[in-house]
Each structure stands twice: as structure tokens, then as C-alpha cells.
Structure 1
Amino acid sequence: MESKIVHRDGLLLAGLAANVTLGDVEAGTAIRLGEQFLARRSEINNVINSREHFGLSTDPDNYNPETDKFEFFIGVEVSSIDNLPDGMVYREVPKNDYVVFTFEGPADNAGRVHHYLYSTWLNNNDYQLAAPLNIEVYDERFKGPAAAESVTDIYFPICKK
């Protein structure tokens, strides 16, 4: 699986969030949250780039994927969080170096990226994860969560071991 290392400036994101388990994600909870967000996206002021949406998954300390909930957030980059619409939240992502993987096909294919990162990439490189999160970037290449022709980038924050 191909990867590249990039530096990304910090992001200020506005959108919707939910605490979910992997089972919830498999049952479509993240997709439904994305649909809710897209229906309300026009309510957000100060959008920097309307062509990119961000899915931010943040794991709790000592995360156990078998049982624990994590936060899934979906939103857009904004220049400020003034006048957030009711029910929307913001998240700040600090600037960092990231390893980026690109996958094609339905959103379910993201699991293969995570598996490769943990089972192979981290073991074969001089990096470790810098934070318990990842960022999925949905741009003009993303055709929908079930579309075979979708292309999605996943960013994992890294630092030297």
C-alpha cells in the first residue's frame, strides 16, 4: 500500500460529532451523521474550502476497538467558529506531520488502511503515532460512502520514534 509523508497546517473545523463504536460505524451511524451534516452544511459561515469535508476519528486513552466508543466528527474547515449553528461543534487539529494513504471504493475499505498502518507500516518505519486520531478527507474524488469509484485520503499524525 502506497503512502506519503506530508506536513499539514492546523485545521479549525465546524460540524457534527457523535460517540460511536466500530459496530455503530459498521451499522451506518457515521454515514447517517454525514448525511445530517450535508443537509445542514449551508448553515455554517466562514467556510474556507467547500470542496473538502473532513471526517475526524479520535480515540480515547487506552482505546479498545472491541468495546470502546470513539468520537467521529464530520465537518468543514472554517476561518472562525463565530456563530456556530445550533447543535454544531468545532474541533481544532494541530499542525503536524502525517502519513497519508489513499484508498478507492466504498468507505468500508478504510479498515484495510488501518490494518496496514498498525500491522505493517508502523513496524517498518521510524515513526510512531503522534496522536490518537485520523482524518479522512472527502474531496471531489469522493462519490459517496458506497460508491466503487470513490477515492479517499486518510491522514495519520506521526512523529519520529
Structure 2
Amino acid sequence: MKPNIITTKPIVIVGLKANLSFITNGSGTAKLAKQFMPNRNQVLNRIGTEKFSIQVYDQFNYNKMSPNTLFEKWVGVEVSNADRLPGNMEVLTIPSGEYAVFNYKGKPENFLEAWQYIHTIWLPNSEFEIDDRPHFEKLPEDYHPSNPITEEEIWVPVK
């Protein structure tokens, strides 16, 4: 699994957020998605059709993480501007910077293995280190976690 290194401009997201831990991530993300998905078409100025699953960590340190590590979870879509927000949605701006982008294709339950590989094998053996910006996955419009095989992009902030 080799990444593409991509430099982004700021990415503006409109969506919903919750404070989760690795223990509550599965059910918490599902709850956010169930709240967001029926209303996603109310978001104005969308860019593309992808959905974003975003993790904002206080200080990302893979070696110090535990199942109880808390982070801010977002489910949303990219917009060109967030002038008018529907309902209870909020705005997150992901700062510009470099990302290692991995294409994942496989069973949803094997995603964690890919994520662990990135942080325990690829990253320590690369020329990069984690940057303090949001981590996220870009999901295609037809993504659903119940599909037997899913495809998504894993975006890891690097410097």
C-alpha cells in the first residue's frame, strides 16, 4: 500500500460532529451518518459527491493512544463556501498542507488493519511524520459500511 503525496488548499466542510473515543467510534459515526445523510442535499455550494469522515485529534500520537482516546468526529461534505448552513450543521476548515493519500479497497472490517499498517509500518519507514491537522477518509457517494467490499481514500496529514 503506497500513498500519493498531495498538497491541499484549505478544505471547507459542512456537517455534523460529536466527541467520540475509539470504543464509541463505530456506533457514534453510524449515528452521525444517520443524522447527516438524509439532510446532505440541503447543503449548498457542494464540491463533488464524496462524503468525508474526519477525525480531529488533540495531539495525535499513535503510541500513546488507547481505546478511550477522545477525538472530535465529523461527517460532512466539502463546500466552496459555507454562507448558509442547514439545520444544526457546522463548519470545519481543514488547513492546507501535505497528505499521504492511501486507496483502500476491501472489507469494511479490515479497515483497521490498513490504518494500523499506515501508522506502524509505512509512516515510521517513510521520510514523513504526522502533522497536527485533521485526518480523514473520503468516501464515494455510493459508500455504505454494509457493502461486502468498500473503497475509500485514507488521508493522513504529514510533514
User: Shared fold (TM-score greater than 0.5)?
Assistant: yes
Partner in structure 2 of residue 57 of structure 1: 55
Instruction: Trace 1:107-118 onto structure 2 (pairs within 5 A).
Output: 107-118=108-119
Distance verdict in 2 for CA 1:20–1:10, change over 3 Å: same
The gaps in structure 1 that reach 5 residues or longer are none
Partner in structure 1 of residue 44 of structure 2: 45
Partner in structure 2 of residue 158 of structure 1: 158
Report the CA distance between 1:62 and its aligned residue: 6.4
Partner in structure 1 of residue 2 of structure 2: 2
TM-score, length of structure 1 as denominator length: 0.87
Partner in structure 2 of residue 94 of structure 1: 95
| % identity of equivalent residues | 26
Q: Is the 8 A contact 1:11 1:77 kept in 2?
A: yes
Q: Could you tell me which amino acid in structure 2 is paired with residue 125 of structure 1? A: S
Q: Is the 8 A contact 1:105 1:146 kept in 2?
A: no
Q: Is the 8 A contact 1:143 1:149 kept in 2?
A: no
Report the CA distance between 1:119 and its aligned residue: 0.9
The gaps in structure 2 that reach 5 residues or longer are none
SS in 1 for 2:24: helix
Please report the RMSD computed on the Cα atoms of aligned residues, expressed in angstroms: 1.8
Q: Is the 8 A contact 1:48 1:79 kept in 2?
A: yes
Report the CA distance between 1:122 and its aligned residue: 1.4
Question: Deviations along 1:18-66, whole A, 9 cap, x unmatched?
Answer: 111111123x2202211211111122112122x1111111112366332
Distance verdict in 2 for CA 1:126–1:154, change over 3 Å: same
Distance verdict in 2 for CA 1:74–1:106, change over 3 Å: farther
